[in-house]
């Protein structure tokens, strides 16, 4: 009977310590793990199941190993604390690819790729390596990549964005480490999806913010909307990044390793001062439950979802919709697209131009011929 390889890794998931459960699709294994770990969550971004890493989750993993005969399924556990207590029960499997993958990881770090990009690329290469575990990295041909694309990605109906991530990772891996070129001509890259971002109206944003009674929660979501911040940009803000005298905040080393300055409105400065007086954070602008640690992305998502539900908003929106709404409302107020690009930290103006398709202000002025009937 074929067994499923289960990889457990300790990693930083958007600001929180977490344990990743990575394996090829196996419905029975999913049901088993969800039964053992009720808090098990699927990440669309990293395409893995994960739980928060703490003493309780570590004990649960130890119990799982003790209760079930799965030692042959577990390839490795990276967390030192977990490994220390379970190393006798875990079968460590060496990979034909690990040397090349390690070289690739070092190369990505040396080129200052972001931690999320490094993780995405390495995970993509490891999925490919497990698919071709019977081969070595140097022996892979273009036909092998095409076969993987057809028999794994397309067969499992993974998203086009994931397919592009894998193709990009493989191209870079073979170009930099193996000195080989992966031809795209026969890879059947998906056509780019032209999806418009979900945008909230000003009244809907107000409903969401007014639903929050907790000053910290209100300050976080208000700052995201008032400055068009990405989630991680908010979480990684420090007290020293806020300059209330100049009415600005400094976003440091954001996407693309770029710093940028964003203006603060008088209204948000008043709210931030009220928050500071109530909470007295020490280092991070928004601290988590543990002193000295930044607020977790997971908790921030929960705050937003609860606020949306309380506000009675039915449309499908995410925390990132506040950023989209900020850009759209600026455009509708007559702000030049070049300034919006700068405020959002977009490298290309083409990324910012999508908001011209979302804004309905000019469209609403168009009279339908139906009205003349």
Query: Which active-site residues does the annotation give?
Result: 230, 255, 320, 323, 346, 355
CA distance linking residue 42 with residue 306, whole number of Å: 19
Q: 138, 178 in Cβ contact below 8 A?
A: yes
Residues 6+ apart with CB under 8 A from 142: 182, 183, 186
Strand partners, 248: 243, 263
Residues 6+ apart with CB under 8 A from 315: 198, 200
Q: How far is CA 310 from the centre of its chain?
A: 25
Query: To the nearest 10°, the Cα dihedral for 347, 110, 182, 178?
Result: 170
Q: What is the SS3 assignment for 42? A: strand
Q: 268, 226 in Cβ contact below 8 A?
A: yes
């Amino acid at each position: 009977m074929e067994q499923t390889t289960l990889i457990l890794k300790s990693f930083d998931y958007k600001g929180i310590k977490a344990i990743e459960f990575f394996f090829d699709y196996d419905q029975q294994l999913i049901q088993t793990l969800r039964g053992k770990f009720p808090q098990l969550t699927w990440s669309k971004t990293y395409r893995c199941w994960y739980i928060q890493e703490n003493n309780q989750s570590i004990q649960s993993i130890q119990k799982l190993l003790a209760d079930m005969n799965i030692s042959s399924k577990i390839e490795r556990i990276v967390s030192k604390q977990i490994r220390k207590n379970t190393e006798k029960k875990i079968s460590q499997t060496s990979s034909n690819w690990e040397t090349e993958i390690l070289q690739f990881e070092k190369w990505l770090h040396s080129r200052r790729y972001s931690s999320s990009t490094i993780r995405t690329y390495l995970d993509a290469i490891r999925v490919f390596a497990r698919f071709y575990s019977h081969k070595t990295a140097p022996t892979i041909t273009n036909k092998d990549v095409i076969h993987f694309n057809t028999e794994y990605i397309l067969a499992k109906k993974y998203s086009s964005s994931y397919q592009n991530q894998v193709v990009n990772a493989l191209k870079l891996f073979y170009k930099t480490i193996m000195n080989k070129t992966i031809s795209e001509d026969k890879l059947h890259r998906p056509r780019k999806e032209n999806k418009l971002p979900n945008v909230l109206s000003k009244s809907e944003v107000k409903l969401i913010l007014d639903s929050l009674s907790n000053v910290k929660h209100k300050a976080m979501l208000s700052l995201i909307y008032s400055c068009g911040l990405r989630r991680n940009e908010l979480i990684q803000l420090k007290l020293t990044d806020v300059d209330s005298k100049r009415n600005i905040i400094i976003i440091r080393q954001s996407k693309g390793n770029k710093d940028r300055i964003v203006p603060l409105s008088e209204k948000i400065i008043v709210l931030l001062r009220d928050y500071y007086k109530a909470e007295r954070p020490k280092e991070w602008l928004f601290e988590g439950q543990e002193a000295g640690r930044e607020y977790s992305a997971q908790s921030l998502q929960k705050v937003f979802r609860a606020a949306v539900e309380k506000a009675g908003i039915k449309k499908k929106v995410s925390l990132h919709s506040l950023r989209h709404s900020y850009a759209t409302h600026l455009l509708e107020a007559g702000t030049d697209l070049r300034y919006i690009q700068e405020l959002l930290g977009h490298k290309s103006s083409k990324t910012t131009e999508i908001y011209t398709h979302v804004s309905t202000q000019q469209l609403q002025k168009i009279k339908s011929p139906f009205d003349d009937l």
